[in-house]
């Protein structure tokens, strides 16, 4: 079967540990290096219980998280709430946020616009 320029499989992407996170493996599925995307980035994150994103913000970058499996606790813009599978949350650009797995393991789809690309200049603590 010929490789597609536009389809990306999780098993074909090498995981990485994102900055400002603990117990987390991310798989960047849609991005510059996989399909040439310039305006959006999508990844799948796997997070261990009690781990996840430490307090941080992304200057000029909006972020969406959609919980696929498990449970998580979210803090953003002075609000704290629990997230269940099938629920999404939004992190506005420049707003500090925290995302912590509260189940044994959480699986989350993350979308950044514009792309974050793990660029240290696109993160403020």
Domain ranges of the chain: 26-122
pLDDT tens track for 67-82: 999 999 999 999 999 9
Cβ-Cβ contacts under 8 Å for 84 (sequence gap 6 or more)? 67, 71
Q: First-to-last CA distance in the chain?
A: 45
pLDDT at 125 over 60: no
Q: Residue 87 is encoded by which pair of tokens?
A: 């629920």
pLDDT of residue 3: 74
The owner of tokens 């420049």 is 94
pLDDT of residue 118: 80
Distance, CA of 87 to CA of 73 (rounded, Å): 12
pTM: 0.91
pLDDT at 4 over 90: no
Instruction: Work out the average pLDDT over 87-94.
Output: 98
Between 2 and 101, name the one with better pLDDT.
101
pLDDT tens track for 14-69: 999 998 899 999 999 999 999 999 999 999 999 999 999 999 999 999 999 999 99
Would the CA dihedral through 50, 107, 27, 78 be positive or negative?
negative
Fold for 26-122, please state it: Jelly Rolls (2.60.120)
Is residue 123 very low, low, confident or very high in pLDDT (cuts 50, 70, 90)?
Answer: low
């Amino acid at each position: 079967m010929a490789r597609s320029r536009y389809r990306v499989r999780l098993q074909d992407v090498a995981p990485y540990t994102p900055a400002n996170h603990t117990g987390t493996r991310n798989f960047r599925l849609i991005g510059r290096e996989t399909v040439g995307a310039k305006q959006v980035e999508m990844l799948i994150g796997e997070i261990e219980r009690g781990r996840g994103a430490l307090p941080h913000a992304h200057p000029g970058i909006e972020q969406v998280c959609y919980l696929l499996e498990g449970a998580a606790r979210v803090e953003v813009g002075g609000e704290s709430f629990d997230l269940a599978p099938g629920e999404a949350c939004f992190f506005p650009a420049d707003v500090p946020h925290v995302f912590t797995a509260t189940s044994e393991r959480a699986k989350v789809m993350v979308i950044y616009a514009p792309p974050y690309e793990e660029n240290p200049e696109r993160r403020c603590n």
